[in-house]
Amino acid sequence: MGFGFSLLSAGLSGACLILPVIIRTSEEALLAVPHSYREGSLALGATKWQTTVNVVLPAALPGIITGIVLSVGRVIAETAIFWVTLGGSYRLPTGLRSGGRSMALHVYMLAGETTAFDKAMATAAILIAIIIVLNLVINYTSRRFAARMMGRE
């Protein structure tokens, strides 16, 4: 596509990497909802759209959120694809078409190519803290969203 080493090419590559996982886990979560939920909703006079939005989606939401969390963790920890698409520039990116370095790639390069192992460990600790905070935020948001969809809030 001619983007070269850029944030745009890295973002598109990361999306292409995790999109099949998100689609498949969402599909499995929707298929795991018992048919009796659908039948009961339709028997009470709800339309198919109302059944999907008010019954099936809230029941499948935990599985969908789990797939998203797993995919986000995978793309954050990915190194090889970002080395190829983002480059290994030491400079901060200035726009979507400029190169940079992901934190996982930064840890890899510091630990493997320099003697700054302490900086690599500090970067790894920050990366782990970011992943923990992201997981907490996603869990909190998904619980609030699920409660709202079930009418408990």
Residue 13: predicted pLDDT: 83
Q: For residues 104 and 127, is the Cβ–Cβ distance under 8 A? A: yes
Rg (CA), the chain: 20
pLDDT at 149 over 70: no
pLDDT tens digits along 102-134:
777 777 777 777 777 888 888 889 888 988 888
For residue 39, the Cα-to-chain-centroid distance in whole angstroms is 32
Domains, the chain, ranges and CATH? 7-149 (1.10.3720.10)
Top pLDDT among 13 and 42 is at 42
How confident is the model over 31-39, as a mean pLDDT?
Answer: 92
The pLDDT of residue 93: 67
Closest CA to 71 of 131, 142, 144, 130: 131
